[in-house]
Amino acid sequence: YGTAEGDRVNDTETNGSGLTTYERSRAVLDALGITAEKAGSGFIKGQNAKIELNNVEYESSTNMFQINGLNITATKESDYTPVKDDEGNEIGRNYTTTNISTTTDVDGAYNMIKDFLKKYNEIINEMDKLYNEKPNKTYEPLTSEEKDAMSDEEVEEWEKKIKDSLLSRDDNLRTLINTFKEGMAAAYKTSSGKTYSLASFGINTLSYFEAADNEKGAYHIDGDSDDEKTKGNDDKLRAMLTNNLDDTMDFFNNLAKNIYGKLGDMMARSDYRSFKSLYDDKALKKEYEDLEKDLKDEEQYLSDYEDKWYDKFAAMEKAMEKVNSKQNALAGLFGTGR
């Protein structure tokens, strides 16, 4: 209980009931099964929970501990034998050891890695496909008049063919692909001091002639029952998870951090690109604005050119009208004289 409750417990005024506030509060506490350590005290002071695991003591402000991936809840004080001095005073306690049994969720860790590789393969295959797409120079953007003359399906198909080749041999996309592939192919040292690569866990790409087009960067797990290409191989990944879970998970954490860090460097803000952008969007925006300005300048030039020639032709027409007028006047004069 807080200070306010303690004040009420230690208050000795009777408040007209014949019982002191302390006595009335004590009766309430007794009814609730809450007892004080000694008369006159209003609360029992709490203390942090402590456990000893593998000769190391851990302390928590709650009764829950998270240690090396284990979630441990202390539900009660362990049985103990008091240690007393010659005078019978307790000077220590010998606690009874509690055995904890743990099991490693190999299937859960295996499926997590498998899912990670599946998503990676989807991304790298799509990027390879876009990069290797042949440029389609026969399809130019449609004008409004051309779109009006085509069906919606024809327009959609036409524009799809243009979009599919937009990233063909794109330098930024190539840099991104190389970043992913280099990160996946690298070796990483774990906290145990050992160095591993994906091949250490039986995870490899297929040979050049065995892999399908645009799937040469995809990884396959040896022994994966869902993979027709590698299901007959020894399952090194499952064996490593069973025998050395810490090193295995440490390796994949380091791999993910490395790729994430390199992607972060690529997406850093610069004079040419915004933060979290893989493309030089600032440079593209400036190029677009420059082209837009050039287009407006050209349109203005054409407009001025048209006005110039319009004025010339208008002046010529007026001159012709004057000539015709004079000719008619002369013709009239000659006709009259005749």
Report yes or no on whether pTM surpasses 0.75.
no
Tell whether 278 is covered by a domain: no
pLDDT in tens, 41-59: 555 667 888 888 777 888 9
Same-domain check for residues 121 and 176: yes
pLDDT in tens, 275-329: 556 666 777 778 888 888 998 999 999 999 899 999 889 889 888 888 888 777 7
Residue bearing the bigger pLDDT, 8 or 286: 286
Number of domains in the chain: 4
pLDDT in tens, 66-113: 775 567 888 888 888 999 998 889 998 888 888 776 667 889 899 999
Query: What pLDDT is stored for residue 45 in this prediction?
Result: 67
Domain boundary among 84, 102, 120: 102
Domain boundary among 216, 240, 266: 266
Instruction: Please state, as a whole number, how many other Cβ atoms lie within 10 Å of the Cβ of residue 276.
Output: 11
Same-domain check for residues 110 and 204: yes
Residue 188 pLDDT more than 60?
Answer: yes
Residue 274 pLDDT more than 80?
Answer: no
Same-domain check for residues 177 and 325: no
Q: Helix or strand or coil: residue 169?
A: coil
Which segment of 85-99, 125-139, 156-170, 262-276 scores lowest on mean pLDDT?
262-276
Which segment of 7-11, 219-223, 229-233, 326-330 scores lowest on mean pLDDT?
7-11
Same-domain check for residues 120 and 208: yes
Reported confidence tier of residue 2, pLDDT bands at 50, 70, 90: very low
Enclosing domain of residue 239: 106-133+168-266
Same-domain check for residues 32 and 126: no
User: Long-range contact list for 278-287, CB < 8 A, 24+ apart?
Assistant: 278/172, 278/176, 279/172, 280/172
Tell me the helix, strand and coil percentages in the chain, rounded to 5.
50, 10, 40
In angstroms, the Cα distances linking 84 to 8, 77, 87, 90, 152 are: 38, 19, 8, 4, 92
Residue 19 sits at the vertex; the CA angle it makes with 14 and 25, to the nearest 5 degrees, is 95
Same-domain check for residues 52 and 42: no
Per-residue tokens: 268: 């850093």
Query: What pLDDT is stored for residue 215 in this prediction?
Result: 96
Query: What pLDDT is stored for residue 332 in this prediction?
Result: 73
Same-domain check for residues 111 and 5: no
Reported confidence tier of residue 3, pLDDT bands at 50, 70, 90: very low
Spatial separation of the C-alpha atoms in residues 313 and 306, rounded to whole Å: 10
For residue 139, the 8-state DSSP code is: -
In angstroms, the Cα distances linking 34 to 4, 5, 7, 29, 285 are: 17, 13, 17, 5, 72
Tell whether 151 is covered by a domain: no
For residue 252, the 8-state DSSP code is: H
Query: What pLDDT is stored for residue 65 in this prediction?
Result: 84
Q: How are beta strands 49-53 and 56-60 bridged, if at all?
A: antiparallel
Tell whether 200 is covered by a domain: yes
Tell whether 75 is covered by a domain: yes
Same-domain check for residues 27 and 55: no
Same-domain check for residues 194 and 262: yes
Same-domain check for residues 251 and 183: yes
Query: What pLDDT is stored for residue 130 in this prediction?
Result: 94
Tell whether 58 is covered by a domain: yes
Spatial separation of the C-alpha atoms in residues 250 and 252, rounded to whole Å: 6
Tell whether 330 is covered by a domain: yes
Residue 20 pLDDT more than 70?
Answer: no
Query: What pLDDT is stored for residue 58 in this prediction?
Result: 87
Same-domain check for residues 187 and 112: yes
Tell whether 161 is covered by a domain: no
Spatial separation of the C-alpha atoms in residues 322 and 331, rounded to whole Å: 14
Domain boundary among 266, 296, 315: 266
Same-domain check for residues 234 and 307: no
Query: What pLDDT is stored for residue 241 in this prediction?
Result: 93
Reported confidence tier of residue 62, pLDDT bands at 50, 70, 90: confident
Residue ranges of alpha helices (H) inside the chain are 3-10, 21-31, 106-132, 144-148, 152-164, 171-185, 236-243, 245-266, 281-337
Tell whether 274 is covered by a domain: no
